[in-house]
Amino acid sequence: MSAIQRKHKDRLFQKLFGDESNRKNLLSLFNALNHTNYTDENDMEINTIDDVIYMGMKNDVSCMLDNYMTLSEHQSTFNPNMPIRGLMYFGRLYDKYIKRNGLNLYSEKLLKLPTPKYFVLYNGDMNTPDIVDLKLSDSFIHKDENNHFEWTATMVNINYGHNNGLLNSCIILKEYSILISKIKRNLKNGLDVEIAVNRAVDECINENILREYLISHKAEVVGMCITEYNEQETMYALKQEWFNDGVETGIRQGIEQGIEQGKEDGLKSLVKILKKFMSDIDTIYKTVIEDENFSDVTYEQVKKYYDSEQ
C-alpha cells in the first residue's frame, strides 16, 4: 500500500489549527512554538499540502509568516522516521514556493528561501522528555563524520502536564491536551471508547474547555475522536509490538545497520536509540537483552555505550 493516500479522515488537531476559520488558533500555535508575538493572522499564509497524507490521517498544518516556514505534525504514536518525512514534505513546500515565485534554480545568484521550522507534537503514551530532537543522521547507515547533512524534527510532548510554558502560551493547544487527557483517563478506567469520548467532551463543555467549539461541533468531534482511537487500537493489535509503538522500527533499524558492520556497532546503535527515551540504564539493559541478537550482552558492555552518549 502506498504511504500517500488521496482519501483521508480529518483529525481534531487539523480541524482546530488547519481550518481557515481557525487562523487565530494557528497563529497562537506559531507564536508558542517559535517564541514570537505576531498579532495579525492575516499576515500568515497557510500552505499545507493537501495531497500529502500518511496512513489515511491528515494531522499536519503548515504555514508561512515573516519568511519562516513552519510545519507542525501531530502524532499519537512515536515515529523515529519523522525527520525523513519532514525532509520530503519540505521538499514539496520549497518546490511549490520556487515555482510560485518564479525563482530560477540555475541562476548564478543565490536563492533566498524561508527558514524551515519543523515540529512534531506528540501526545502518545510513551513517557518521553518534554523536548526530543529527532535527527535524520540517525538513519544513516554510515555516520556522516563531517555533519554535512542533517534535518531535525523537534518532537514536543504536548501531553497535559508537560511543557506547561508552551501550553499556557497557546490556550487552544492546552485545552486540546486536556480533552485528550480526559479521553485517555476514561479509557484506562475501562470505559468503552464511545462512552469515554462522549463523557470527556461533556466534561470539557461543563468546565469551559474548548466549550464554544465543542458545542458547535460536538457530533463531528466525537466522531473524529472515536475513529482515531479505534484505529489506534486496531494498529496496536495488528502489529503485536514487543516494545512501544513506533520505537521498534527505530530500534530494528539501528540493530540491522549495526549488525552489518559487527555486533558491537549494533549494540552501540541500539543503546543510542534507547537512551533517547529511557534515562535509567537498568531499564535500557533489560530492553537490550530481550532481543535475541543481544541476549548474551553484559551490563558492562551496555554501560560503556551508555556513558559514551553523555
**Digit-coded pLDDT (tens) for 194-234:** 999 999 999 999 999 999 999 999 999 998 888 877 766 64
* pLDDT score, position 265: 76
**Digit-coded pLDDT (tens) for 54-76:** 444 567 899 999 999 999 999 88
Q: Where are the alpha helices (DSSP H) in the chain?
A: 12-18, 23-34, 82-100, 164-169, 171-188, 193-206, 211-216, 218-239, 247-261, 263-275, 281-290, 299-308
Higher-scoring residue by pLDDT: 193, 207: 207
Q: Which residues of 5-41 are buried (b: 16+ CB within 10 A; e: fewer)?
A: eeebeebbbbbbbbeeebbebbbbbbbbbeeeeeeeb
**Digit-coded pLDDT (tens) for 294-309:** 778 888 888 888 887 5
Determine the angle formed by the axes of helices 171-188 and 193-206, rounding to 10 degrees.
140
Q: Which residues contact 17 (CB under 8 A, 6 or more apart)?
A: 25, 26, 29, 61, 72, 172
Question: Residue 115, Cβ neighbours under 10 Å: how many?
Answer: 11
pLDDT band for position 10 (cuts 50, 70, 90): low
Question: Residue 302, Cβ neighbours under 10 Å: how many?
Answer: 24
8 Å CB contact between 19 and 34: no
pLDDT band for position 116 (cuts 50, 70, 90): very high
Would you call 227 exposed, middle or buried from its count of C-beta atoms within 10 A (0-12, 13-18, 19+)?
middle
The sign one gets for the Cα dihedral 245, 251, 252, 257 is: positive
8 Å CB contact between 65 and 91: no
**DSSP-derived secondary structure letter, 111:** P
What is the mean pLDDT of the segment spanning 159-185?
96
pTM: predicted TM-score of the whole model, two decimal places: 0.72
Q: For residue 68, give the nearest of 39, 47, 53 by alpha carbon.
A: 47
Record the cell numbers describing residue 148, joined without a space: 554535512
**Digit-coded pLDDT (tens) for 236-283:** 444 444 345 445 555 666 566 555 556 677 788 778 777 776 667 777
Higher-scoring residue by pLDDT: 142, 173: 173
Q: For residue 138, give the nearest of 264, 3, 274 by alpha carbon.
A: 274
What is the mean pLDDT of the segment spanning 114-138?
92
The sign one gets for the Cα dihedral 150, 151, 155, 156 is: positive
* pLDDT score, position 255: 60
Residue type for position 305: Y
**Digit-coded pLDDT (tens) for 80-91:** 889 999 999 999
Evaluate if residue 16 carries a pLDDT over 80: yes
* pLDDT score, position 237: 46
